[in-house]
Structure formats: C-alpha cells, structure tokens
Amino acid sequence: MGSIVMPEALSKDESEITFTALTPHIGSLVKGIDASKPVPPAVMARLRRELADRSVLVLRDQALTPAQHIALSREFGPLEKHVLSDFCLPGHPEIFVVSNIIEDGRHIGAHGGSKRYHSDLSYLPEPSLGSLFYCLECPEEGGETAFASMFAAFDALPEARKTWLAARNGVHDYVWNYERAHSKNRAPLTEEQKAKTPPVLHPAVRTHPENGRPALFISEIFTRTFDGENEAESQALVREIMEFATQPAFVYEHEWRPRDLIIWDNRSAVHKAMPFDEENTRRRMHRTTITGDRPFFDG
C-alpha cells in the first residue's frame, strides 16, 4: 500500500497554488510553490497550462541551488547547452550565466547583449520552448527584464498586416548578429561555433502548440530578412512591427529581487534586459533553456 500515491496529496498541493495576473495580457505571479522541491505532476500540468496562456510566470523568494534549478527545468523538457560554452556554469553546462561581473580578469557570463527584444535560441531550427531565469544578484535600480506578449501583438495588428505576415518566413541569423553586435566586446566566433549556427527560416507567425493561439515570431536581434524582401526593407519592417508589438500595453517589466525565478515562454513572448550601471553594480543571473520544437503556422 505504501507505493500508492494518494490523489488527495496532489490535489491538495494544487489547491494551495494561486495565480495573479501581472498585466492584462502577460505575466502571472505564482504563489504556493517551493521550486527547490519536486513538483507533483498535477502541479506541473497546471504550471505548463498557465505558462502557455500567460507567457511569463513569476515566483518570488525561491532558494535554489544550480542542481535544483536544473531539476525543475527538466520537468518542462530536455535542456540546451549554449553554444557559448565559456559562459556556462562550471560543472553545470545546462546553466548559462548572464552577468556583468569580471572575476580573475574574465567575464563570468554573457554581458552587454540581450538589450533588444528576442526569443531565446530563435536562430536554431528548433528554438527554445522556454527559459527559467534565476536572480542571484541584481542592482537596486535598472537591470529589469521586459517581456512583450506576441499573442496580444499579433491579435492587435491590422488585418492586412496579419495576412502579409502569416504568409512570410523570417531568416534568423546568429552569425550575422554576432558580428554586428559583439565584434568589439566578445571574442570572435570560432569556425566550429559558426558551423553550428547557420541561418534558419521560421514562420513570422507561429501557432502555439499547446493552445493553438497565433503569436508573432520576430526577433529584433536575429531576424535578418523576410523572404522576398531585401535586408534594408526587412530591417525597416522588423523595427516597425516590433515597435508596435512591444508597446506598453503588451509589456510586463520585471523589477528583480535576489531569489526571484521567472519562467518564460519563448513561443509567445519576446524579452530584453533594461540598462543598468554596469561599471559600479553587480548583476548575476542563471538561465536554463528548455529545448523546443520546430515552429509552425496552421492558420
């Protein structure tokens, strides 16, 4: 009898969890979960549904070791190991460190990037499903993360624009962006790193595989061109559409506190880091990145 899992035990846990909307379109504050402990399957199912519908889940006051962060992340799917292996946590290649901190003359994490809206790993044929981002240290001011709902953005576009975008692919190009954005502040990519990240085509609008809703899938960082358009025209369109898509009504901006954990859905939200005093303050974040599927549009 000892091996029987009582259904009451799971539903009791589930009933203790609350979700509060952070803005009308995006973001949910989750209370009642200790992310350092195994999460029962019924609670995981509820979290996945909330993530699909609200794109961003915020959990405050979580005391997480790297191993616990990884264990919770694995409940959402297999994890990526980032192409920039220098910025992964020693001993834990699943954790990508995002930080401005320099130790022993070396950056401990990715720095000086991600200040424009993007979806993680959109440059892969199978971009990330979502990411779990954990705050270890943050400045008192600045360094927020902004998230924009690509469901709300698509829904609000004029019909002619929706039709145009729904028939388009975007080219997502990691190497092109790296060379324009990081040539001054990071080591050049090796031929091996470049070979791992050739340009890929993705639909400009994707169907969310869990709830069927259409979401814009465009990155200010990685979308280089739309098929049929040259680079200058494409870049002008990316700017115009993303300016519309990231208007305040569709955005949740998170002010970090140490021990905050955010789970975001890369299939329906874009995000970016806000500026902070990188010279005089410390910011240290740990990210796990869940492997995803090939984007599709079945509109």
Kindly list the residues in this chain that would bind Mn ion in the complex (CB under 5 A).
114, 120
State the minimum distance, in angstroms, from the CB of residue 121 to Mn ion.
9
Q: How far is the CB of 266 from ligand OGA (least distance, A)?
A: 9
Confirm or reject binding of residue 80 to ligand OGA (CB under 6 A). no
Judged by CB, which is closer to ligand OGA: 208, or 287?
287
285 near ligand OGA, judged by CB under 6 A: yes
69 is a contact residue toward ligand OGA (CB under 6 A): no
* Residue 62 in the binding site for ligand OGA (CB under 6 A): no
Residue 49, H or E segment: helix 41-54
Give me the least distance between CB of 263 and ligand OGA, in Å please.
12
- Return the number of the residue (80 or 173) whose C-beta is nearest ligand OGA: 80
From the CB of 272, what's the least distance to ligand OGA, in Å?
6
Alpha-carbon span 60 to 75, nearest angstrom? 19
**Nearest approach, Cβ of residue 80 and Mn ion (Å):** 12
Answer whether 75's CB lies under 8 Å from 44's CB: yes
Identify the burial level of 266 via C-beta atoms within 10 angstroms of its C-beta, where 0-12 means exposed, 13-18 middle and 19 or more buried.
buried
148 binds ligand OGA (CB under 6 A): no
The yes or no reply on residue 291 touching ligand OGA (CB under 6 A) is no
Smallest distance from the beta carbon of 229 to ligand OGA, in angstroms?
Answer: 26
Binding residue (CB under 6 A) for ligand OGA from 68, 114, 169, 193: 114
The yes or no reply on residue 273 touching ligand OGA (CB under 6 A) is yes
Give yes or no for residue 145 binding ligand OGA (CB under 6 A): yes
Interface residue with ligand OGA, options 98, 132, 237, 261 (CB under 6 A): 98
Going by the DSSP 8-state scheme, the letter that residue 258 receives in this structure is: T
Closest to ligand OGA by CB, 43 or 98: 98
C-alpha to C-alpha distances, 35 to 19, 31, 261, nearest whole angstrom: 15, 11, 9
Opening angle at CA 269, ends 21 and 62, nearest 5: 55
Which amino acid type is present at position 269?
A: A
Q: In terms of CB distance, is 129 or 285 closer to ligand OGA? A: 285
Shortest CB 181 distance to ligand OGA, Å: 13
Rounded-to-integer distance, Cα 31 and Cα 166, Å: 37
The partner in contact with residue 273, picked from ligand OGA, Mn ion, none with C-beta cut-offs of 5 to 8 angstroms by kind, is ligand OGA
Half-sphere exposure of 266 (CA within 13 A, CB side): 25
User: Under the criterion CB under 6 A, does residue 281 sit at the interface with ligand OGA?
Assistant: no
User: Burial code of 86-115, b = ≥16 C-beta within 10 A, e = fewer?
Assistant: ebbbeebebbbbbbbbeeeeebbbbbebbe
Q: Which alpha helices (DSSP H) does 137-247 contain, by range?
A: 150-156, 159-166, 174-181, 191-196, 231-245
**Measured distance CA(177)–CA(159) in Å, rounded:** 31
88: helix, strand or coil: strand
Name the residues that contact ligand OGA, by CB under 6 A.
Answer: 98, 114, 120, 131, 133, 145, 271, 273, 285, 287
